[in-house]
Amino acid sequence: MNKTNYANIADRYDKNKYRNQISLDMDLLEFINSVQRRPVNILDLACGTGLYLNIQIPYFKNEAINWYGLDASPEMVDKMRRNVSGVDLKIGVAEDLAYESDFFDFICTNYAFHHFEDKGKVIKEAHRVLKPGGIFKIYNISIYDMQDWWIYQIFPTANDEDRKRFWKKEMIFQELAQSRFDVVLKMNYKREVVKLAKLMDYVYNRDISILTIY
């Protein structure tokens, strides 16, 4: 399996307009409203440059929350350090989490699950470091449901490559259930016509991870 080298794209990463469409995480809001205990510990697993926490932290500024971020790429973490304050950051891999057991209340991982080389191990590690009743949220695109995505139309071999690294949603569901998670699968579907000229920005920028592999 080819790998995306985030050292090469860390500087351009935040310019991708797709990545800047983050808003308040309603699952996180619901969770914070539903638990009494404080403080709560929240981990952004494979946090990248901090786009997600940068948006969430201000929404919860009146709550007693300890924010954590972990990512394998020193360059991405370095960018995050400059972008977001108030987060305990670590460089490390999701397959081997340097946190004690039963520590986190909520773990999210955005657009990263396909990058994990040993996904089964990541699920086990997430289960270990989560407190009972905690939430592990995996948020990602579902490539098997978007075979006519413009990336795959223009770069067909990107689809072959993605099929090697993305698990089908059924597989993710099954592996989580086997690791004793109560699993809920939610999907949003959007289809739109986009003019080719509008896509050129993304292509020139080459910060969509599958494009950076080539």
Ligand X SMILES: C[S@@+](CC[C@H](N)C(=O)[O-])C[C@H]1O[C@@H](n2cnc3c(N)ncnc32)[C@H](O)[C@@H]1O
Q: Which residues bind ligand X (CB under 6 A)?
A: 6, 19, 46-48, 51-52, 71-73, 76, 93-95, 110-112, 115-116, 209
Residue 186, H or E segment: none
Q: Are 105 and 31 in contact (CB under 8 A)?
A: yes
27 CB-contact burial (10 Å; exposed 0-12 / middle 13-18 / buried 19+): middle
Distance CA 108, CA 120 (A): 16
Alpha helices in 60-133 (DSSP H): 74-83, 119-129
- The distance of closest approach from Cβ of residue 165 to ligand X in the complex, given in angstroms and rounded to an integer, is 10
- The distance of closest approach from Cβ of residue 93 to ligand X in the complex, given in angstroms and rounded to an integer, is 4
> Nearer Cβ to ligand X, position 20 or 133?
20
> Nearer Cβ to ligand X, position 41 or 115?
115
> Nearer Cβ to ligand X, position 35 or 175?
175
Largest CA distance in the chain: 50
| N residues, the chain | 214
Q: What is the DSSP letter of 168?
A: P
Distance CA 90, CA 67 (A): 12
> Nearer Cβ to ligand X, position 19 or 124?
19
> Nearer Cβ to ligand X, position 17 or 38?
17
